[in-house]
Amino acid sequence: MTTGTRVLVLNAGSSSVKYQLIDMLDGAKLASGLVERIGEEGGRLLHLPLTGEPRETLRRFDGHDVALEAVAEELAKDLMGLDSPELAAIGHRVVHGGLRFTRPTLVTDAVLGEIRRLIPVAPLHNPANITGIEVARRLRPDLPQVAVFDTAFHATLPEHAARYAIDRAVADEHRVRRYGFHGTSHQYVSRATARLLGRDPAELNVIVLHLGNGASASAVAGGVCVETSMGLTPLEGLVMGTRSGDADPGLVFHLHRVGGMSVDQIDDLLNRRSGLLGLCGDNDMREVVRRAQEGEEDAKLAFDSYVHRIRRYLGGYYAVLGRVDAVAFTAGVGENSAEVRAAVCANLEELGISVDPELNAVRSRDARTVSPSYSRVAVAVVPTDEELEIARQTFALVHEV
């Protein structure tokens, strides 16, 4: 067993790698950074040590291996290189764990093979995650590497929530079901909400609204996820920055048969040219709010559609849970936009949900409640920290074995 107390968290995307080095004794972030535009011109590594100036490297990074080696060099300059004895493990974010991976898992050749077999259900994400793991294993073959899956927290969805109402044989053959995403964030935020309220997570029912560029809602009953808004892919559910969220599946046939669009064009439309961007030309909520406040009709429509969809889910999840103790807002929009929080919670006093305008207007990086003290349901703003959650789960697993 390792005596190290630090965990390096890696989040490898198709052309980027984000990383954080965390000391598990106190949760301190010793260093963080990202490499962008891997395999393209204009590559950039930004390294942010805990103390000292940020360091930027502008050059081409041919592949994830070159990028990770450069990250290792930056960490070594701070005397925290991959060979340091304090490093206990590397934790990897893996987007899709399918039905097989419902817990953090120590990476072996067999595990890597199984993550590879999930590529058909996560073609955009899992290949990059796998590359990250392979490169890290090559750099430190002796170090425990742990995969933490975005889908894992949603593995507890009951079958009637996880299944689409389609022919079961077809669904099973193609592994079609609702997996859900952002699980690490929903897990972290639901627990942090219980901590904020001084309650045991096992007795708290929480609706978590993760509103970032991608957005999803989840219903968590006593620490167990029972519903979530993303499905087979991260396209289902809420209106997002550039994704449509829920839409009649029939619109795909319509756009293909009547609109003459190919499947790839429709994929691009729904994933990259829809949501706030499609409705008003901006996908940043700050711009949408500013333009709506200036009276621009399309920005107002985008804002109202975004809020309306969240409220539909909020009401639905209230019914699923039966009793709601807290609604927690998180991620870029949820943590920062008082306008969105106020609009989502407007006129819901009958459900015990309301927001105190003064508390809601406070800007802070700390978890806090923004509902009046008499509220039956606490409305909370809880900054998410997926990296810390991945580090915790990684560290816990390494100390179990």
Min separation Cβ 164 and ligand ADP, Å? 25
Q: Which amino acid is at 190?
A: S
Task: List C-alpha distances in Å: 260 to 90, 265, 268, 275, 279.
Answer: 47, 10, 14, 22, 22
Report the residue number whose CB is nearest to ligand ADP: 332
Token code pair at residue 181: 């995403």
Min separation Cβ 387 and ligand ADP, Å? 11
CA triplet 327, 332, 338: central angle to 5 degrees?
Answer: 60
Min separation Cβ 284 and ligand ADP, Å? 4
98 or 275: CB nearest ligand ADP: 275
DSSP labels for 97-136? Answer: -TTT--S-EE--HHHHHHHHHTGGG-TTTHHHHHHHHHHH
**Does the annotation place 284 within a ligand binding site?**
yes
Residues making contact with ligand ADP (CB under 6 A): 212-214, 241, 284-286, 331-333, 336-337
Min separation Cβ 276 and ligand ADP, Å? 8
Task: List C-alpha distances in Å: 215 to 183, 199, 200, 204.
Answer: 12, 26, 26, 22
**Does the annotation place 333 within a ligand binding site?**
yes
Q: Which amino acid is at 369?
A: T
CA distance 170 to 166: 8
127 or 332: CB nearest ligand ADP: 332
**Does the annotation place 93 within a ligand binding site?**
yes
Point out which residues pair with 225 in neighbouring strands.
220
4 or 180: CB nearest ligand ADP: 180
Min separation Cβ 307 and ligand ADP, Å? 13
**Does the annotation place 332 within a ligand binding site?**
yes
Which of 26, 83, 150, 246 is the catalytic position? 150
CA distance 355 to 19: 35
CA distance 227 to 230: 9
**Does the annotation place 335 within a ligand binding site?**
yes
> Annotated catalytic, 282?
no
Q: Which amino acid is at 272?
A: R
215 or 324: CB nearest ligand ADP: 215
**Does the annotation place 18 within a ligand binding site?**
yes
CA distance 382 to 341: 12
325 or 339: CB nearest ligand ADP: 339
Binding-site positions for Mg(2+) read: 11, 386
State the catalytic residues: 150
Annotated binding residues, as ranges? 11, 18, 93, 210-214, 284-286, 332-336, 386
| Residue numbering of the annotated binding site for substrate | 93
